[in-house]
Amino acid sequence: MLQQVPENINFPAEEEKILEFWTEFNCFQECLKQSKHKPKFTFYDGPPFATGLPHYGHILAGTIKDIVTRYAHQSGFHVDRRFGWDCHGLPVEYEIDKTLGIRGPEDVAKMGITEYNNQCRAIVMRYSAEWKSTVSRLGRWIDFDNDYKTLYPQFMESVWWVFKQLYDKGLVYRGVKVMPFSTACNTPLSNFESHQNYKDVQDPSVFVTFPLEEDETVSLVAWTTTPWTLPSNLAVCVNPEMQYVKIKDVARGRLLILMEARLSALYKLESDYEILERFPGAYLKGKKYRPLFDYFLKCKENGAFTVLVDNYVKEEEGTGVVHQAPYFGAEDYRVCMDFNIIRKDSLPVCPVDASGCFTTEVTDFAGQYVKDADKSIIRTLKEQGRLLVATTFTHSYPFCWRSDTPLIYKAVPSWFVRVENMVDQLLRNNDLCYWVPELVREKRFGNWLKDARDWTISRNRYWGTPIPLWVSDDFEEVVCIGSVAELEELSGAKISDLHRESVDHLTIPSRCGKGSLHRISEVFDCWFESGSMPYAQVHYPFENKREFEDAFPADFIAEGIDQTRGWFYTLLVLATALFGQPPFKNVIVNGLVLASDGQKMSKRKKNYPDPVSIIQKYGADALRLYLINSPVVRAENLRFKEEGVRDVLKDVLLPWYNAYRFLIQNVLRLQKEEEIEFLYNENTVRESPNITDRWILSFMQSLIGFFETEMAG
């Protein structure tokens, strides 16, 4: 029965009525029941943390997911849509550390891992009700009742299985590498995590002299923005193929050596210096210099305080003479290892504390402490006559993605997954995926894959899936556990939970006469867990083996462009390592939703309107349409403007409503005045000679055809 349509409409109120209808008749579950025996369309939903509220980025990605999965259902497929939750890792621990005032491992030891993890468990789902409310209010159909959580024992067991497959294939190793290190969270980060949060910072810029032993009137000049690493200097490095010069500094009257292409770093005018000699960097190889400090004079017998050569030294910055502190720089570490100045088990480190005293504990140096140490070092260098110039320098620097504190680089013993030897296979599998936009596949993601580094999967933390390695004291005997049953058999204990407090105390008898094997203390990087979600969400291979294998890889995933160095990457690495194939067939990548001024949305700055208030004011459809009809769906950034949502209401939804109202008015007039019942008959319409009817039908079919082509990719 057609009814008169009111002149005015409140879109948010109408949406609420529809939501009530869906709930009353359980429409989403009914659709799933009706499509149960149809072909499957597999969709993976990337798990968010429930320790924060949903923002516009989540709303955008959720809208894309809802559109594609609804279309797949309407096209004759069965589409399971399970919501997932990321429950472990730094985001949760950092919140607890802030709340409880925990400053380091000693504080956790005092309260005990059991209590610490209980505190983490208590806040994991802090905002789950708000998530469910907001996502449902947006009209998205997703299964919250049949969700997956990374803290479920079944999920964690599948993560163990994934790891054991990698271990058995020889893809896991323990090594010491210079890694990005979060001092606030007291743990190393993976290379892709360290690229997620760069900021422009102002650091000291110092030029330091290194007098040659053969003639102390001649000094090499090195440049650094981290003076606090200078006490750990063991060598300097030059490019063997570049041109270097010996000059006389006119103002200072000193003889200096640096790369000719970098003279402009020290001098504004050519008249400020006089070139005395030119020679390639190789000429400097092996020359000895006087150390800045005496802390590691004993290393001299291993070849320390020598000029090394390597092509990593570039002509774009500095002086072409690079100070080598192997504990704090990846290239420094590699070069000093190549020249046998250091060994893996002997890493000289001598950072400085706030009072200017030297210590061997680098994790004390975050934020203000580093700044104070820098001042102390610069003062000492000046007193010793080794400081040539000290200024400041603005550059882009990585910050911890969770604590928002500057990262440092330091050599850390960690567990790694070999990625570098599978780069070609990663690139091939990437080419098998259909990306929207395609440019992301070729450029941003493809370029990232070409330079992929071995993945640091261990974290020196507590609230996470424990790495299932039981080792002897000398690390020569290692047992990798791949299931709960295997651990129960080897340990003799009954196991119901896999968190640290439940498994750390378990031991395994040695098969080599080495006593008892103990679990290593580290937990998995939470990205390893989210990368394992295709298998872990269905407890593969312990359950649902055939169902999973028939539906893998996924037909579709969608997330923001920041996931090219996050979830997209870890999914691809693990699927390639496990099965030699990509984890998904199609992926839509959205750009970032920024504040109206182009800045990152910030709760602290309050530079964006609350999403819930926007939905209440204009309705979810207006917000969804605003987002989906913007450049953000082509991986470009969107400056969110409330007026844009209002304009969708004014320029799209209201004209559509008025057109519908006009139709209903005429249908009712037809019935009343001419007593003709309006019944739509497709066959009658197709045969209509009316040119307007034919144009409307043609336009509609063109629109449907265009839509089907676009959705088919």
Q: Which residues are catalytic?
A: 47, 86, 527, 563, 567, 600, 603
Beta bridge partners of 208: 222, 387
Degrees, nearest 5: CA angle 38-44-49? 145
User: Residue 125 corresponds to which amino acid?
Assistant: M
Closest CA to 521 of 577, 442, 462, 463: 462
E strand intervals along 596-695? 638-639
Closest CA to 563 of 53, 68, 86, 52: 86
Whether the bond into 12 is cis, omega within 30 of 0: no
Using CA atoms, how far apart are residues 122 and 622, in angstroms rounded to an integer? 36
Beta bridge partners of 562: none
Using CA atoms, how far apart are residues 346 and 302, in angstroms rounded to an integer? 11
Degrees, nearest 5: CA angle 294-298-301? 125
270: Cβ contacts below 8 Å, ≥ 6 apart = none
Please return the burial class of 145, using the count of CB atoms within 10 Å of its CB with bins 0-12, 13-18 and 19+.
exposed
How is residue 464 written in tokens? 């996470």
SS3 388: strand
Q: Identify how many contiguous H helices and E strands the chain contains and give both numbers.
A: 26, 26
Q: How far apart are the first and last CA of the chain?
A: 39
Closest CA to 188 of 325, 363, 45: 363
Is residue 493 within 8 A of residue 506, CB to CB? The reply is: yes
403: Cβ contacts below 8 Å, ≥ 6 apart = 90, 94, 182, 184, 185
Closest CA to 49 of 128, 121, 119: 128
Output the CA torsion sign for 253, 256, 258, 260: positive
SS3 357: coil
Residue with tokens 């008749």: 25
Q: What would you measure as the largest C-alpha separation in the chain, in angstroms?
A: 112
Residue with tokens 């066959």: 683
3-state secondary structure 230-286: HHHCCEEEECCCCEEEEEEECCCCEEEEEEHHHHHHCCCCHHHEEEEEEEEHHHHCC
Closest CA to 590 of 568, 631, 560: 560
How is residue 157 written in tokens? 């067991």
Whether the bond into 437 is cis, omega within 30 of 0: yes
Closest CA to 100 of 121, 114, 116: 116
Is residue 323 within 8 A of residue 233, CB to CB? The reply is: yes
Using CA atoms, how far apart are residues 322 and 345, in angstroms rounded to an integer? 24
Is residue 640 within 8 A of residue 591, CB to CB? The reply is: no
Please return the burial class of 345, using the count of CB atoms within 10 Å of its CB with bins 0-12, 13-18 and 19+.
exposed
Beta bridge partners of 509: 516
Residue with tokens 């743990």: 187
